[in-house]
């Protein structure tokens, strides 16, 4: 706020409201500045908000934006930061209309997201718990894997096990893709049965106490063909090489470049069609992006994924993904599941 010479800061992204205040309801705006932060929410959350946050809470009947606008006018603030990438046009226009003359809404871009990149010890502990639930769920669901099982049955089993282990929900739509369907990097589980000699891609994560985990593993029913083994080995080599680069000070572009270099060596550069990874925390995809041309430097406390993959129409796809913590001396792979 001092950088932007702001009198106040309006937090409208619910995930950022949660990050700053602890409030997990589905309707809330947090106003920072002045003596103490003020959380606006509606009567459904009267009891919950009092339990979850030590902010002052204002319970509002009707649209929050009107109450927020009135509060801003009374304070006579001149410069109010807002999350321009995270606000709806209606809400923005509503706020603009209620501002006092001479007051301005100032674009603060991803100020909170930049804070969220570096996880606290408490956040890292929660991510570890989420990662453990994901890996345990994978291990128990895999014991039931046999030919004839449908992709959607396996996805349901994975999600059931994650919930049993304490997750609120999957961190994203679980991906189970058998055979040539694995060529779709974001395949939705279908009613297709898993064959007796087939490659299987599973990409899954838990959301546990708000925090995400993210893992992709390849399984194979029956003995894999030589081509499949070679592709798997190439992707694994790329993934391990990229993880080896992870340490404070390195650009995310350099981590991405390492995975690309290895796959390029095997003539698979063109088949690696997405970026190498992403940050994760309260959201499954958050800053930093581990991709080509991204100049963000890794720092201790960041939690990222490393997940190179290759995809071929008619054959299938191979991706391997771990959740990785950047430590002061390098990195720690949090995912315990063997590859």
Secondary structure class of 67 (helix, strand, coil)? helix
**Closest approach of Zn ion to the CB of residue 203, in Å:** 4
Q: Which is nearer to Zn ion, 198 or 307 (CB)?
A: 307
Cβ partners under 8 Å of residue 338, min gap 6: none
Q: Which is nearer to Zn ion, 305 or 335 (CB)?
A: 305
Site string for Zn ion, 208-227 (x = CB under 5 A): ------x-x-----------
CA atoms of 60 and 215, how far apart (whole Å): 41
Q: Which is nearer to Zn ion, 63 or 291 (CB)?
A: 291
**Closest approach of Zn ion to the CB of residue 213, in Å:** 9
Q: Which is nearer to Zn ion, 95 or 201 (CB)?
A: 201
**Closest approach of Zn ion to the CB of residue 175, in Å:** 7
Decide: 17 and 39 in contact? Cβ < 8 Å: yes
Q: Is 203 in the site for Zn ion (CB under 5 A)?
A: yes
**Closest approach of Zn ion to the CB of residue 65, in Å:** 34
Q: Which is nearer to Zn ion, 8 or 205 (CB)?
A: 205
**Closest approach of Zn ion to the CB of residue 285, in Å:** 7
Burial class (CB in 10 A: 0-12, 13-18, 19+), 80: buried
**Closest approach of Zn ion to the CB of residue 336, in Å:** 16
Question: Does the N-terminal peptide bond of residue 307 adopt cis geometry, omega within 30 degrees of 0?
Answer: no
Number of H helices, E strands in the chain: 9, 19
CA atoms of 331 and 323, how far apart (whole Å): 10
Instruction: Count interface residues toward Zn ion (CB under 5 A).
Output: 5
Q: Which is nearer to Zn ion, 21 or 305 (CB)?
A: 305
Cβ partners under 8 Å of residue 158, min gap 6: 137, 138, 141, 170, 174, 176, 202, 204
Touching Zn ion, residues 286-325 (CB under 5 A): 305, 321
Site string for Zn ion, 252-291 (x = CB under 5 A): ----------------------------------------
Helices assigned H by DSSP within the chain: 14-21, 46-52, 64-75, 89-98, 111-116, 121-142, 151-164, 226-245, 252-265
**Chain contacts with Zn ion (rule: CB under 5 A):** 203, 214, 216, 305, 321
């Amino acid at each position: 706020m001092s950088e932007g010479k702001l009198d106040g800061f309006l937090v409208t992204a619910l995930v950022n409201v949660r990050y700053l205040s602890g409030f997990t309801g589905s309707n809330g705006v947090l106003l920072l500045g002045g003596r103490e932060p003020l959380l606006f929410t509606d009567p459904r959350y009267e009891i919950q908000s009092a339990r979850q946050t030590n902010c002052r809470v204002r319970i509002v009947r009707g649209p929050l934006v009107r109450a927020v606008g009135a509060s801003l006018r009374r304070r006579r603030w001149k410069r109010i930061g807002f999350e321009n990438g995270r606000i709806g046009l209606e809400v923005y226009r509503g706020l603009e209309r209620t501002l006092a003359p001479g007051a301005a809404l100032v674009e603060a871009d991803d100020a909170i997201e930049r804070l969220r990149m570096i996880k606290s010890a408490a956040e890292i502990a929660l991510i570890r718990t989420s990662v453990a639930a994901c890996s345990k769920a994978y291990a128990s669901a895999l014991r039931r894997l046999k030919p004839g099982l449908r992709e959607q049955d396996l996805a349901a089993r994975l999600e059931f096990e994650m919930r049993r282990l304490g997750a609120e929900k999957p961190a994203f739509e679980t991906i189970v893709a058998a055979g040539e369907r694995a060529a779709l990097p974001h395949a939705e589980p279908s009613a297709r049965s898993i064959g007796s000699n087939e490659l299987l891609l599973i990409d899954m994560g838990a959301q546990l106490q708000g925090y995400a985990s993210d893992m992709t593993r390849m399984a194979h029913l029956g003995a894999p063909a030589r081509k499949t083994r070679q592709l798997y080995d190439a992707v694994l080599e790329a993934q391990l090489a990229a993880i080896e680069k992870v340490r404070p000070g390195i650009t995310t572009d350099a981590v991405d470049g390492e995975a690309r270099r290895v796959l390029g060596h095997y003539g698979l550069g063109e088949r690696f069609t997405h970026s190498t990874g992403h940050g994760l925390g309260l959201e499954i995809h958050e800053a930093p992006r581990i991709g080509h041309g991204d100049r963000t430097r890794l720092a201790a406390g960041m939690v990222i994924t490393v997940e190179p993959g290759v995809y071929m129409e008619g054959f299938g796809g191979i991706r391997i993904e771990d959740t990785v913590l950047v430590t002061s001396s390098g990195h720690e792979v949090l995912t315990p599941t063997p590859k």
